[in-house]
Each structure stands twice: as C-alpha cells, then as structure tokens.
Amino acid sequence: MSSEARGVPVVGMAGGGQLARMTQQAAIPLAVELRVLTGSAGDSAARVIPGSTIGDERDAADLSAFAAECDVLTFDHEHVPQPVLRELEHSGHTVRPSAAALEHAQDKAHMRQALGAAGLPCPDFAVVSDAEEARRFAVRLGADTVVLKAITGGYDGKGVWLCPVDELVSCEAFAAGRPVLAEELVRFERELAAVVVRRPSGDVVAYPVVESVQAEGICVEVLAPAPGLPTAVAQAARDVAVGVAELLDVVGVLAVELFATADGAVVVNELAMRPHNTGHWTIEGAVTSQFENHLRAVLDLPLGAPDLVAGPTVMANLLGSDAPALHANLASVLGRDPGVHVHLYGKQVRPGRKIGHVTVVGEPGSDVDGLRHRASAAVRGLRGEGGDDT
Amino acid sequence: MSSEARGVPVVGMAGGGQLARMTQQAAIPLAVELRVLTGSAGDSAARVIPGSTIGDERDAADLSAFAAECDVLTFDHEHVPQPVLRELEHSGHTVRPSAAALEHAQDKAHMRQALGAAGLPCPDFAVVSDAEEARRFAVRLGADTVVLKAITGGYDGKGVWLCPVDELVSCEAFAAGRPVLAEELVRFERELAAVVVRRPSGDVVAYPVVESVQAEGICVEVLAPAPGLPTAVAQAARDVAVGVAELLDVVGVLAVELFATADGAVVVNELAMRPHNTGHWTIEGAVTSQFENHLRAVLDLPLGAPDLVAGPTVMANLLGSDAPALHANLASVLGRDPGVHVHLYGKQVRPGRKIGHVTVVGEPGSDVDGLRHRASAAVRGLRGEGGDDT
C-alpha cells in the first residue's frame, strides 16, 4: 500500500547530511515518512532512512521528480539554486521555506538589504566589487579593519575574511573577481543564537536564546540558555529572530546568529532556514526538539513547547581529528560519564569536519562550567585524546 | 564500503515491531547500524530502517543468514523457538540475551521453577494437565479461584484465565489439551514494573520502579515513578529485578512485572527480556532510554544513567479504535497540548491493537493526576473521541 493511501504525510528533504539524519529521529515517533534526495547511499542521512533517492539535489529534474513523491519539500542545506526552487514552486510543489524566504539565507547581500530596510539591527555594510571600493567603505566607517564575506556559498568560517584596510589589495576575498559583502567589524562580547520555528499560519515558537562559542569561525560549543544573559538582551534577541521570521515569511526553523555587544545591543550576523547547529541541544534539552518542530512546521501542524526540559544544557561539537576510530573510543567515553549523550553522524572522518556532537543536560541551577567540562571531556575522549579531564 | 570496514557495530534484531522501530531512534545517534529480520517490508520497524531483511525470524535458515551479517543478534519479541536459538549459539553467533536466559521469558513454568528455587517471590504455582489437577491445586491453597496461564505464547491478557474452582471443567485453558500453569490469585493493591538493564560484564542499571495500570490484561498507562511508593517497596522491587537478571544471566533490558500487595510485599508476575511497554516513558522521561541502554548492553558498552530527566512522567498506550485516521487527529491533539509527546508506530489500525503511545513529562513535584489527564486526553484525541477533557 502506498504511504498516501495510509494517510501518512511524506516530507522530502533535499540533501542527506546530519540534519536530515537527525530529522529522522523526530520523524519516527510522528510516523511522518521522511525521504531524502542525496548524492550517495553512503551519506549520513541515507544510512538511516529507507528508500533514499540518489541524485543531485541541486538539479531541477532530479529535484522535481523527488518533490512529486512528497507532500512537502524542505532542506538539509541552502545550496539549491534559486531558479530551481522557483521552478518547483511554479510547478505547484509545496516548498517550505519558500524560494523567496530561502534567498535571504543564500545571498548575504540580499539578507542585509532586507533586514536593514526593515530596521532590524545589522552591521553597516556595502556590496563592493574590489579592494578600492572596500577601502572607501572603511574610510566612510572610520574603520581600520573590515569584514569581507562571499555573498553566497560561505559556511563554517569559509568565505569570511577579517582584513586590515592597508592589506585589502591582497585580500583573497577579491580573488574570484566577484562582488563581496563588506561589513563593519562588530566588537562583540559574545555570540548568541536565537532559534525560532514558524508555521505557515504565522504561529511561532522561540527556543531559549543560547550562547555560541566559536573557534576559527566554527561553532564548537553551545550553552543553553546563554549564561547570565540579561532578560532584556534575551528578549531583544528573540524579538529580532521572530521579526526576521515574520518579515521573510519563513516556514520551519530559522536560526539567527547574533553578536551581543558590551552596551547590551544585539546585531544580526547570519541566518539559516533549517535545523541548525545551535539547536542540536534541543534533542535532549528541550521539550520539543528543533527537528520535530521543523517537521511540524513544514506540515503545518501545531508546534511543540520549546522550553527547557530540566536545567542548563551544553552541546559540544565533535570535529574530526586524525584518529578516526570513533567507535573504539565510545566505550571509554560512555564509561566515564553515564549522563552524556553522544551523537555520531556516520560520516567519514576528516580533520576539522563536523562528525558528531555531545550533549549534557543539567539539573535546574546546575553549574554551567561543570557541564562544559563534561561535554569537553567527552569530545576529547571521542577524538582519542585521552582520559585526562583536567 | 561495508559497515564493518567503517568500524560501525551492527546489531540485528529478530522481529520488526514497534520495539525495533523505537530502537532505531536510539541507534541513529550512536551510529550503530540496526538491521531487522521481519516478515514484511510494511512492518513497523521496516518502514524506518534501511535494508531490512524480509524473512521468517522464527526460521533457523533465515535467522542464521541474518545473524551472519550482524555483530550481535537481539530480539523484538520472545517468539524465536529454543532449538533455533540454541543452533545459532552453537554456530558461534552472539545471541543476547542468550537462549538459556530467553527460555525463562518464553516458558512460564520454567520461569516459575527457576525463580522459586532461587527464593525470589512468586505466587504459589503448579503445572497442571487438566481441570482435576487444577482443582486439587486450588484445594491445597484453600482458594475458590485460580489463575490459569498458557505456558508459552500468551501476551496482553491472551492466554490468561481467572477461573472459579467450580467452573474449572469448562475453562478454555484446557481446550488445547496441553499442560497449563496454575497460579495462586494474588490479591494485589497495584501492579508495578521494575526495568533493569544488564551488560555481559554484569553491570546493571535500574530504572525507577513504575506503576502499570491495566485494563482487561493490557497495560494502558504507566506512571513513573510509581506514585507514593514506599522506598522499601521500591527497593524490594528493584532488588527482585536485579536478582532475576543476575540469576538468569540476562543481557539487555529485563522488565519484571510485579504485584504489590497491601502488606508491602512484591510478587513476580511476568518477565520480558527486551525493551518493554513499561519502559517507553524513558524515551523522554529518563536520561537514557531503555532502547539506547538495550543497544549499549548487547554491544557490551557502558550503560547510561537511568534517572528521571525532570519530574514524574506518564505514558499512556494508544489502542486502535474503529477510527483509523490517526494523522487526521494529530493536529488537534498537538494543538491542545504543546508538551505532549506522540509516538505512532506506523501499524495498521485494528481495534484493541497497540498502535502508539503518548508521554507527558512533568516538572519535579508535578501533580501526577494532571499528567494522567493530559496523556489520557491526547490518547482520546488520537482515537477521534473528541476534545472533551472532562
């Protein structure tokens, strides 16, 4: 019998990475049939989802054939080209978030222009074609350093350059000969993320605002909620995220990465319209995970509670090291800490690649440093870096 | 590349029901490759586990071929015949729990004899061949009613008869012409379940003892922990379960269903050696779910913490009604209670069949009646029984 005949909703996800993989954990209890279109049967999500379609999720024909089998199409990443997305919508497929919304997660200049025009807090910015235009932007700001970003395609610190004005002429940002986004360097105290989920009807839930600890442009740790964050700043961050979701008519998860400055302001750094690394803690730490709420949202089902289940929660990313034998290290990590949650993505291990994460949920009032210590010890253990907890 | 070459452990499960399905949720984060051998690609677990093997999991040849592809074989149910299990072990396959242990979950007479001989608390019992032998057993007890049980194959109230002594001659229990187990009718105040998990090394973790609320021999609700249970009774129940696990050398989840009597005693009713209905609440309510701990145990990995994540937790079973349109009712159920966790098993709906469950996790100190009310309202909503919460 076809799944349609059983009345089971079918959600198709373009891309088969760890986000699709973790979405399967949420799809199982809801009896939502999750399908992925991905490049290889060995991809992270394809290993755990039956009947994955092997193909190119950026290709109009492959994606159109895939979407025809699904009630709704959603995304593991933001790399499906706009013309493909527009064509799918034009053909009558349900695409969530929409092509128009997704464009703001794909094109940083487009995002800055839209948010800036709506009065949402952003760094000062300009689209520049070369080093000379970037220099003039810096002079206008009175800045000795600017941030340059590839307008499309950057991730995890790639496609971002912090450049002193007198070195602009040799900055790699201009090597491709394409316009780049020049931004004011925001002097921030810490980085926050506000994850919200929105239904087509407009209902929104907002997870507690988290602190995202970065190293070399990669998120290494998430503290939920952001420790000691003044209520007014948390509210401002949430308001910005809800504002962005409404402005851009986002459906599904929207993660807004923000800079928090010393004077209590929040400034939008990046957007993502899919389950996001800063929301992985919700699997164990929140009543409803971001993955379940993403599914509910794209199916236009009522959203689940985003509240903490217990106390503060810490998530630490596991980045690939030169020691690939993850499972060989699992026993000692689990043996040292019976409360740690290990997530392995089933991906080939490469140095620096996100291949898993660990989560530790504290009791109400738990000491966050203690939780960070446990999460970090587990990550080091999985990387084969020994049992020394100090 | 084969999974073995990637160093990923492969767990094979005989049977593809909801227990295997929920085990997949736990296998994904651990990057354990879970495979099932089951009768149909439409079975509950086969819908969510790639590459399921279709075959007869009670057949020696099918099971042996399946086991050869797995590092360890474990079970969704207790219906694999003893000779098949023994042959698998003889062929060198790793079977957990072992054939010798499983026999006690398959054969109620065998279980009563073993537990009785070890001094574990059981009802008085006798294996009887006919009504006259059952009558003599009742006379010996001085009882006017006895419990008769099919020695093998009973479940969910099937294969159990409560029979007045003067009606024994017409009792259906003897219709098959096979010996049955006659037991003392235990006058209990309530039913408890103690779920423990044991590794091959002997390490054991014990979940909080729960109360199991039954209707017509089927568990309809589980209250975790059992409300108001005296510490001494909880400890006694846990001790019995750990004692059974050690006595029988169980590996994996062992669920011991118990009667609690007015004088504070606990008496063993039934055993199961697999994830059990009375442990479903652990998915959201405990730090480590019974499904994850079952996987850890059969792979001889250290066990996870069995403690409550937050406060009391209530699980209610969803039994099939005449209204099969589960997904049509999902929106209203989720809309009425953003904190309820719905689990649908992807099974064909038949009246009385277990087709899902719901779980509500309370804050520490929550009123259990309030949680029961929410769980019950969600179940009625899924059954299409309207939105009246009273």
Per-residue pLDDT tens digits for A123-137: 999 999 999 999 999
**What's the whole-number average pLDDT of chain A?**
94
Give B9→chain A minimum CA distance, Å.
Answer: 8
Per-residue pLDDT of chain B (390 residues; tens, 9 = 90+): 334 445 789 999 999 999 999 999 999 999 999 999 999 999 999 999 998 999 999 999 999 999 999 999 999 999 999 999 999 999 999 999 999 999 999 999 999 999 999 999 999 999 999 999 999 999 999 999 999 999 998 766 788 999 999 999 999 999 988 999 999 999 999 999 999 999 999 999 999 999 999 988 788 999 999 999 999 999 999 999 999 999 999 999 999 999 999 999 999 999 999 999 999 999 999 999 999 999 999 999 999 999 999 999 999 999 988 666 677 899 999 999 999 999 999 998 888 889 999 999 999 999 999 999 999 999 999 998 865 544
The reported pLDDT for the residue numbered B390 is: 43
Q: Burial letters for A38-65: b for 16+ Cβ neighbours within 10 Å, e otherwise?
A: beeeebbbbbbbbebbebebbebebbee
Burial of B139 (0-12, 13-18, 19+ CB in 10 A): exposed
Per-residue pLDDT at A323 exceeds 90:
no
Does the distance separating the beta carbons of A326 and B31 come in below 8 Å? yes
The reported pLDDT for the residue numbered A51 is: 87
Summarize the confidence of residues A281-286 as an average pLDDT. Answer: 98
Q: Burial letters for B334-352: b for 16+ Cβ neighbours within 10 Å, e otherwise?
A: beebbbbbbbbbbbebeee
Q: Tokens representing A99?
A: 């092509």
For helices A60-67 and A82-90, angle between their N-to-C axes, nearest 10 degrees: 40
The reported pLDDT for the residue numbered A390 is: 42
Give A335→chain B minimum CA distance, Å.
Answer: 5
For helices A368-382 and A326-336, angle between their N-to-C axes, nearest 10 degrees: 150
**Bridging pattern class, strands B10-14 and B72-75:** parallel
Give A227→chain B minimum CA distance, Å.
Answer: 20
Kindly list the residues from chain A whose CB atom is less than 8 angstroms away from the CB atom of residue B25. Answer: 25, 28-29
- Other C-beta atoms within 10 Å of B92: how many? 8
Please enumerate in sequence order all residues whose Cβ is within 8 A of that of A14, keeping only pairs 6 or more positions apart, or say none.
Answer: A36, A37, A57, A63, A66, A73, A74, A75, A76, A77, A80
DSSP string of A284-350?
HHBSS-HHHHHHHHHTTPPPPP-SBSSS-EEEEEEE--S---HHHHHHHHHHH-TTPEEEE--PPP-
Does the distance separating the beta carbons of A47 and B33 come in below 8 Å? yes
How many residues are there in chain A?
A: 390
Q: Between the CA of residue B324 and those of A31, B321, B348, B352, what are the distances in Å? A: 14, 7, 8, 12
Task: Provide the sign of the torsion angle of the four alpha carbons B268, B270, B272, B278, taken in this order.
Answer: negative
Does the distance separating the beta carbons of A51 and B51 come in below 8 Å? no
Please enumerate in sequence order all residues whose Cβ is within 8 A of that of A115, keeping only pairs 6 or more positions apart, or say none.
Answer: A104, A122, A244, A247, A268
Beta sheet of A180-184, edge-to-edge order: A125-128, A180-184, A145-150, A160-164
- Other C-beta atoms within 10 Å of A90: how many? 9
Write out the H or E segment, with its range, that includes residue A243: helix A231-247
The reported pLDDT for the residue numbered B1 is: 35
Q: What is the pTM of this model?
A: 0.96
Q: Burial letters for B250-289: b for 16+ Cβ neighbours within 10 Å, e otherwise?
A: bbbbbbbbbbbbeeeebbbbbbbbbbbbbbbbbbbbbbbb
The reported pLDDT for the residue numbered B7 is: 74
**Bridging pattern class, strands A210-215 and A160-164:** unpaired
Q: Tokens representing B139?
A: 């006379």
Per-residue pLDDT at A389 exceeds 60:
no
Please enumerate in sequence order all residues whose Cβ is within 8 A of that of B110, keeping only pairs 6 or more positions apart, or say none.
Answer: B103, B104
- Least CA distance to B338: which residue of chain A? A304
A209-228, pLDDT tens digit by residue?
999 999 887 889 999 999 99
Which of B3, B19, B327, B329 has the most A C-beta neighbours within 10 Å, making it the best mutation to test the interface with A? B327
* Cα–Cα dist A323/B310, whole Å: 36
- Other C-beta atoms within 10 Å of A180: how many? 27
**Bridging pattern class, strands B33-38 and B53-54:** parallel
Please enumerate in sequence order all residues whose Cβ is within 8 A of that of B132, keeping only pairs 6 or more positions apart, or say none.
Answer: none
Q: Which comes out higher in pLDDT, residue B8 or A339?
A: A339
Per-residue pLDDT at A274 exceeds 70:
yes
Does the distance separating the beta carbons of B8 and A302 come in below 8 Å? no
* Cα–Cα dist A330/B60, whole Å: 33
**Bridging pattern class, strands A188-198 and A252-261:** antiparallel
Give A35→chain B minimum CA distance, Å.
Answer: 10
How many residues are there in chain B?
A: 390
The reported pLDDT for the residue numbered A6 is: 54
Q: Are A103 and A82 in contact (CB under 8 A)?
A: yes
- Strand blocks (E) in chain B: 10-14, 33-38, 53-54, 72-75, 125-128, 145-150, 160-164, 180-184, 188-198, 204-206, 210-215, 218-224, 252-261, 266-272, 313-319, 341-344, 354-361
